[in-house]
Amino acid sequence: MPLAAKKAARYAVAFFLIISLNFAIPRAMPGDPLTNLLGEDVDAAGSTIVELREKMGLDQPLHLQYLCYWRNILCLDLGYSYHLHSPVSSAILSRIRWTLLLSVPSLILGAAIGTFFGALAGWKRREAVGKLETALVLTVFCTPPYFLSLLALYVLSFYLGLFPLKGFYSSGSWLDIAHHFMLPVLVMTLFSASRNYMIMRGSVIQEKASLYAAYARAKGLYGNQILFRHIFKNALLPIITLLALDFGFILSGALFIEIVFSMNGMGNLIYDALLSRDYPVLQGSFLIITVMVIAANLLADLLYSRVDPRVRWQ
């Protein structure tokens, strides 16, 4: 079987298994979605309960619900949320743009900054400035994202008043939106850059001890010429994997940031759906994340073959 066919089969099996888990996991959670919808203190008539269960599709056996679930996916129908009183697709579309606007610039800036300075730190790790820089980055890397967000919110927004305390916008103008997004993007960029920095630093330290680096020195190259002309590409491979995972989980990765800054994006949508046992919203959100994860890994495979000639040869 050709390599491309093997990869396609592997991704197809992974997609099937993940989508099946997407159906099973929300239903394995304790609690009844109908009770969350009505409230524990509401005394509804038996006929009302039966009618609501029928409308929500909870009266059918699990295997029929599973078949209906696949049919809706193939028809691109994500269902209806009774808690939000709207189709799931509309709820996701209204939230996803804000999360993408928050996450995409953060991940791109974090990847560029962390990769560049991590490569320099790994190349010159014995210098005192490099050690201090690594210690500061390691502090950010070890700090939980929610604590980093709370600290930035308290110092820069509450104490100094430089940024708004919550929300996506006040007036709706582009400057107002940019002002609201600046601090959350800064926090996410710092956290993303710290991870890429530490991974790239370790990768460069490992690669510069290789024989091809010694051969480059023997040819007469020196300093950053060896780093950026020979070592950088090979050291970049773990970063590609990390970026694929980051972009795959881009919609759920901003959960803590959105909660701290009171932003109604995809992270808060998934969190509220978990609390209310809103199966259609959970299934729709996880489906979008699944597609993004598989697409990101496929893109990483393609980038590997472009960056590393050994992958193309295999």
Q: Per residue in 15-41, is it b (16+ CB within 10 Å) or e — as a string?
A: eeebbeebbeebeeeeeebeeeeeeee
For residues 35 and 95, which has the higher predicted lDDT (pLDDT)? 95
Q: Is the pLDDT of residue 281 over 80?
A: yes
Specify the pLDDT at position 122.
83
Q: Is the pLDDT of residue 121 over 80?
A: yes
Mean pLDDT of the chain: 79
Which two three-digit tokens encode residue 313?
Answer: 């040869």
Specify the pLDDT at position 38.
57
Distance, CA of 292 to CA of 246 (rounded, Å): 10
**CB hemisphere CA count around 229 (13 angstroms):** 13
**If you average pLDDT over residues 156-176, what whole number do you get?**
79
Specify the pLDDT at position 242.
81
Q: Per residue in 184-205, is it b (16+ CB within 10 Å) or e — as a string?
A: bbebbbbbbbbbbbbbbbbbbe
Specify the pLDDT at position 12.
82
The most confident of 31-45, 100-114, 170-184, by mean pLDDT: 100-114
- Does residue 180 contact residue 168 with C-beta atoms inside 8 Å? yes
Q: Is the pLDDT of residue 208 over 70?
A: yes
Sign, CA torsion 46/49/52/53? negative
**If you average pLDDT over residues 47-62, what whole number do you get?**
69
Q: Is the pLDDT of residue 279 over 80?
A: no
3-state secondary structure of 219: coil
In angstroms, the Cα distances linking 301 to 9, 19, 38, 168, 311 are 14, 22, 47, 35, 9
Angle at 195 between CA 193 and CA 200, to 5 degrees: 90
Q: Is the pLDDT of residue 11 over 70?
A: yes
**Cα-trace Rg, the chain:** 24
For residues 309 and 111, which has the higher predicted lDDT (pLDDT)? 111
**If you average pLDDT over residues 249-254, what whole number do you get?**
66
Q: Which amino acid is at 261?
A: F
Domains of the chain from N-terminus onward: 3-88 (no CATH), 95-313 (1.10.3720.10)
- Does residue 212 contact residue 129 with C-beta atoms inside 8 Å? no
**Residue 210: phi, psi to the nearest 5?**
-80, 165
Specify the pLDDT at position 39.
54
In angstroms, the Cα distances linking 298 to 11, 282, 294 are 8, 24, 6
Q: Is the pLDDT of residue 235 over 60?
A: yes
Specify the pLDDT at position 249.
65
Q: Is the pLDDT of residue 4 over 70?
A: no
> What's the whole-model pTM score?
0.75
- Does residue 311 contact residue 32 with C-beta atoms inside 8 Å? no
